[in-house]
Amino acid sequence: MKITREAVLHVADLAHLELKEGEVETYRQHLDEILTYVEKLNALDTSGVEPMAQVVAVGADSAAAWREDEVHDAAVTAEALAAAPDPAPPFFRVPKVIEREP
């Protein structure tokens, strides 16, 4: 067993996911199975192999990759805020994150 219950809870915490009690063991089993499967990559010697950082090399140094940094007004503030769960134009409202000193 590679993945412990604690590791699942740690990863869920990093990913901001609340898990139900039943989900913890299910995900532990699935992650364990998948991570055991991906270990097959260790059979390959990749010393001297560069990690792939760009999918298609075309255009990297072309005009398309460089442009003027121009400001455009997308003019969608009202529409964007309309899609928010708790808008307070022009802001998004969230639960309080900073407590003031009394």
Partner 1 sequence: MTTNAKRTIAAVRADLAAKRVSARELVADSYARIERDNPRLNAFLALSPERAYAQADRIDQMVARGEELPPLAGLPLAVKDVLATRGIPTTCGSRILENYRPPYDATCIERLEQAGAVVLGKTNCDEFAMGSSNENSAYGPVRNPVAPDRVPGGSSGGSAAAVAGGLAVAALGTDTGGSVRQPGALCGIPALMPTYGRVSRYGLIAFASSLDRVGPLTASVADAAALLGVIAGHDPCDATSAAVPVPDYLAELGKPVAGLRIGIPREYFGEGMDAGVRERVDAAIAQLEKLGCRRVELEMPHTDYAIATYYLIATAEASSNLARYDGVRYGLRTPADSLAEMYRKTRGTGFGAEVKRRIMLGTYALSAGYYEAYYLKAQKVRSLIARDFQQAFEKADLIVTPTSPVTAFRLGERTADPLAMYLADIYTVTGSLAGVPGISVPCGNTSEGLPVGLQIFGPHFGEARVLRLAHAFEQASAAVA
Q: With respect to partner 1, which residue has the nearer C-beta, 16 or 102?
A: 16
State the CB neighbour count (10 A cutoff) for residue 8. 21
What does the per-residue mask of binding to partner 1 show for 45-64, with x meaning CB under 8 A?
-x--xxxxx-xx-xx--xxx
User: Is residue 1 part of the contact set for partner 1 (CB under 8 A)?
Assistant: no
User: Is residue 79 part of the contact set for partner 1 (CB under 8 A)?
Assistant: yes
Q: What is the DSSP string of the chain?
A: ----HHHHHHHHHHTT----HHHHHHHHHHHHHHHHHHGGGGGS--TTPPP---S--TTTTSGGG-----------HHHHHHTSSSEETTEE------PPP-
Q: Which of 5, 25, 34, 89 binds partner 1 (CB under 8 A)?
A: 34
Binding site for partner 1 (CB under 8 A): 7-8, 11-12, 14-20, 23, 27, 30-31, 33-35, 37-38, 40-42, 44, 46, 49-53, 55-56, 58-59, 62-65, 67, 74, 76, 79-80, 82-86, 92, 94-97
